[in-house]
Chains A and B, each alone.
Chain A
Amino acid sequence: MKIVVLVKEVPDTYGDRRLDLETGIVDRAASDAVLDEIGERSLEVALSYADGHPDTEIVLLSMGPESAQASIRRGLAMGASSAVQVVDEALLGADLGLTSEVLAAALQHTGFDLVIAGNESTDGSGGVIPAMLAERLGVPQLTALASVEITDASVSGRRVLDDGVATVSASLPAVISITESLPDARMANIKGIMAAKKKPYEVLSLADLGVVAEREDAPRSIMIAVSERPPRGAGVKIVDEGDAGEQLAEFLVQNRLA
């Protein structure tokens, strides 16, 4: 079984995160960089399967700047077998369409039985990459799983909805995404860190994958304007002159809170 886990380096949510107001791109220097926690949980799903199935190969796949390598290596120290990182200047600020195109090409390059991703990253919060990948690769998708069961030929799990729980399954190969309900990732230990230094780490460019970033015929998001979040204004005070209830209701409706 070959499981590819999508991981991503993101700014640590512990501190303040900032956008570069000129480019609209996240200011990586402004905060500590960490492996996105939901990606770590995805890796944990793969690792716990591998615990009982020693012939499992786990490949980490990531797209990001070269500097992200230290974060991705953490995944190797936790137990993944190898890593593939797509690094290319042309990917700076890539939108979801381009990102999914690159990742799909990389997945075709690595080959896979199962792709595991988080439901959304803590920085971009797009939440659509898993679905886009399934579409591009022409395989089934099971998104937002709160539990995962993997067998030789299929994958299944529970998806928690507003009014119930759906149990879904698909045959392999497939793409799944998971939620924070799945367990925390195991911690890397010293043996893992030392072993990780000898594990394969492949760096690919867009040219290697045959993907063109600036294509006239491809729809791409274009940044039109970037502005700082406005400072919080003073709150609205409602003085009760007999109509406070009405005013409150109106306020809630206006702000789409009701």
Chain B
Amino acid sequence: MAEYRPPLTDLRFALEHVVGYPEISALPGYEHADLDTVVELLESYGEFVTKVIAPTNRIGDTEGVQYHPDGSVTVPQAFKDAYRTYVETGWGSVPMPQEFGGEGFPRTVGLAMQEMITSANMSFALGPLLTQGAIEALTAVGTEELQRRFLPKMVTGEWAGTMNLTEPQAGSDVGALTTRAVPREDGTYAITGQKIFISFGEHDLTDQIVHLVLARTPDAPEGTRGISCFVVPKFLVNEDGTLGERNGVRALSVEHKMGIHGSPTCVMSYEGATGYLLGEENRGMSIMFIMMNTARTSVGLEGVALAERAYQDALAYAKQRIQGRAPGSSEPSPIIDFPDVRRMLLTQQASIAALRRLILLHGVQVDLSTHHPDAAVRERASEVVALLTPICKSFGSDQGIELTSLALQVHGGSGYIEETGVAQHYRDARIAAIYEGTNGIQAADLVGRKLPVRDGASALEFIEQLQALDSDLAGAGEDFAAIRSQLETQLGTLKRTTQWMLRTGVSDPRAVLAGSSPYLRMWGLCVCAWLLAKSALAAASVGDESAAEQLVLARFYAQQILPQVSGLESAAVAGADDLYALDAVPVR
């Protein structure tokens, strides 16, 4: 297994020349986050995750977490040591709001950091990620009192946070949840019910865990309109900020999972636990949606991060593994000299570079949507964020599985052996397509909620923005001709399919949903190919030393990966008839 090397050069280039980070650091409130500072910060953070976090990855996988009869859960000692250093060095506070002790860096920077810590150890990285989600919700809608009591120690990482949504009967259908919240005279609520699949629901990394719990008040309307969100701390907090009485929440068990063994996935029981209402009653879903855009993109990023780590392993292996003689060689050859192995490696390299840019682009749009002084710019950025969120989540996590699988394949039989280490990345990657809204739900979100925005104008305008690169490509000469022609063809296909979706959605929503997953993939491929083309153009125009390499990546992607879009069109517009045609056939 190769030691993790943070992809600092590519991150810097992508930030500076592809996704437009300099525009973000010029926004009011981000003056301290200039590119040089960010690069320095990323270098130091890269060193931190390499030295402190990455060595715990294998330990987390093999040791896993322990549930004890008293309801406590312990994580490997190595996690505890690493977490202590994480808190001491203050890295978790970088993208957090300054008023609560954070450094107030843009979301985009947080994403670049998140890629590195997730590559280093996805199970470990999940803890801070969930805390970050809880912080976002508290910052957005918490009362001053709740913020003062909980945020400062969550920002430093001394306290952790969780999200409690899922119940046995309420998975994708959150509206079916039954956990009750009964108001008390003192203004708090008594929370009673059971939650499942709660990541970091219980652990011994921190003294305090602050749960955000979705529950129903007694007279709440049915479905998602009757859900409220509550802050339920593991320990009640005294007036002086110290920890008081144990609250009525405990873990009943931890799950045995396919991957992310170092992340404790808990069944949580609430028995009259004291909860504080977050925001207003029955507004729980909208609070969850505050976090959704960022949390979903972060999950897409998990796919990218694991693909990167697995690719580094595969590349190192392919260079040193000697087998047979490559065509034209008279000496025994490393397998990297064989064409099919090179195809696997280049597919990984190009796809990872593209996905990294996709995720960072999402971050830039989030930052524009929150910090740009012009309301029209903020508005449009919010639309782009909404459109790209399901694409980042689904395409990123699907590719995470496919690319870690390819990395495993490069290892041959050794890849299938656990000691080699690459199998862990493949197992870990699998969850990202499931949690935070399954990828099917994302595709439904894309066609059901995002396409109808302004009767399709939001999506079509974005496609036009992608098509506008054509003039730059035309002016860039023969080197870019193949990229230009493929992009033109496939963006045309995407536009045609989008128009079909918009046309069909009105009369036949089932047909649109039937084609939603292939359609989402078409989007992912097109935006990725566009970003690589943009990147190669930028590298050529600024004379970056990576220009030749970037041209190859963009061309390979455009010519050998992007054409999948044409093949997907047929499934995207096929309708639902065949999917339902066999319903009458009895199960045999």
Interface residue ranges, A against B (CB under 8 Å):
14, 29, 32, 70, 73-74, 77, 187-191, 193-194, 197
Q: Of A29, A70, A74, A191, which one neighbours B36 at CB under 8 angstroms? A: A70
Measured between beta carbons, the chain A residues less than 8 angstroms from B43 are 74
A194-B32, A197-B37 given; A188·B44 CB < 8 A: yes
Q: B40 to chain A: which residues have CB within 8 Å?
A: 70, 73-74, 77, 193
A189–B94 CA distance with the chains assembled, in angstroms: 10
Which residue of chain A has the shortest Cβ distance to B8 in the bound complex? A32
Complex Cα gap A148–B41 (Å): 31
Interface residues in chain B, defined as those with a beta carbon under 8 Å from any beta carbon in chain A: 5, 9, 32, 36-37, 39-41, 43-44, 47-48, 51-52, 88-91, 93-94, 103, 545
Given contacts A29-B545, A32-B9, A70-B39, contact A191 B90 (CB under 8 A): yes
Looking at the assembled complex, report how far the CB atom of A78 sits from the nearest CB atom of chain B, in whole angstroms.
9
Residues from chain B with Cβ under 8 Å of A187 in the complex: 44, 47-48, 51-52, 89
Q: How far is the CB of A231 from chain B (nearest CB, A)?
A: 14
The residue in chain B whose Cβ has the minimal distance to the Cβ of A69 is: B36
**Within the complex, which residue of B37, B44, B51 is in contact with A74, where a contact is CB–CB below 8 Å?**
B44
Question: What are 18 A-B interface contacts by the 8 Å CB criterion?
Answer: A29-B545, A70-B36, A77-B40, A77-B44, A187-B52, A188-B44, A189-B44, A189-B89, A189-B90, A189-B91, A190-B89, A190-B90, A190-B91, A190-B93, A190-B94, A190-B103, A194-B32, A194-B37
CA distance A77 to B36 in the complex (A): 13
What is the distance, in angstroms, from A183's C-beta to the closest C-beta of chain B? 13
Say how far A46's CB is from chain B's closest CB, in angstroms. 19
Residues in A neighbouring B37, C-beta threshold 8 A: 193-194, 197
For residue B424, give the distance in angstroms from its CB to the closest CB of chain A: 24
A75–B165 Cα distance when bound, in Å, is 45
A73 vs B94: C-alpha distance when bound (angstroms): 19
Smallest beta-carbon distance A76→chain B, Å: 10
| B47 to A, closest residue via Cβ | A187
Chain B residue with Cβ nearest A30: B545
Contacts of B41 in A (CB 8 A): 190, 193
For residue B93, which residues in chain A have a CB less than 8 angstroms away from its CB? 190
Shortest Cβ-Cβ A-B pairs, 8 listed: A189-B89, A188-B44, A190-B90, A187-B48, A190-B94, A193-B41, A187-B47, A191-B90
User: What is the CA–CA distance of A193 and B88 in the complex, to the nearest angstrom?
Assistant: 15
- Cross-interface CB contact of A194 among B39, B48, B52, B103, cutoff 8 Å: B103
- Measured in the bound complex, the distance between the Cα atoms of B36 and A190 in whole Å is 14
When distances are taken between beta carbons in the complex, the residues of chain B under 8 Å from A189 are: 44, 48, 88-91
Give chain B nearest CB distance to A51 CB in angstroms. Answer: 14
Docked CA distance A77–B45 (Å): 12
Least CB distance, B557 to chain A, in whole angstroms: 25
Which of B5, B36, B40, B52 lies at the interface centre, i.e. has the most chain A CB atoms within 10 A of its CB?
Answer: B40
A74, A77, A189, A197 — which one has the most chain B CB atoms within 10 A of its CB? A189
**Cα distance A29–B544 when bound, in Å?**
11
Closest to B88 in A: A189
Nearest CB of chain A from residue B330's CB, rounded to whole Å: 14
Given known contacts A29-B545, A187-B47, what 18 new A-B pairs fall within 8 Å (CB)?
A: A14-B5, A32-B9, A73-B40, A74-B40, A74-B43, A77-B44, A187-B51, A190-B41, A190-B44, A190-B91, A190-B93, A190-B94, A190-B103, A191-B90, A193-B40, A193-B41, A193-B44, A197-B37
When C-beta atoms are compared, the residue in chain B nearest to A197 turns out to be B37
State the CA gap A74–B42 with chains docked (Å). Answer: 12
Q: Please give me the residue from chain B that is nearest to A73 by CB atom.
A: B40
> In the complex, how many angstroms separate the beta carbon of A154 from the nearest chain B beta carbon?
33
Most chain A C-beta atoms within 10 Å of own C-beta, residue among B37, B88, B93 = B37
User: Distance (Å) between the CB of B160 and the closest chain A CB?
Assistant: 19
How far does the Cβ of A30 sit from chain B's closest Cβ, in whole Å? 9
For B89, the closest partner residue in chain A by CB is A189
A188-B93 Cα distance, complex, nearest whole Å: 15
- List residues of chain B with CB within 8 A of the CB of A77: 40, 44
* A190: chain B residues within 8 A (beta carbon): 41, 44, 89-91, 93-94, 103
Interface centre among B89, B91, B103 (most CB of A within 10 A): B89
Provide the bound-state CA to CA distance between A73 and B41, in Å. Answer: 11
Minimum CB–CB distance from A171 to chain B (whole Å) comes to 37
Determine the chain B residues whose CB is within 8 A of the CB of A74 once the complex forms: 40, 43-44
Q: Which chain B residues lie closer than 8 Å to A191 at the CB level?
A: 90
Chain B proximity of A28: nearest CB distance (Å): 11
Cα-based distance from A70 to B12 in the complex (angstroms): 14
A8 to B236 alpha-carbon distance, docked (Å): 52
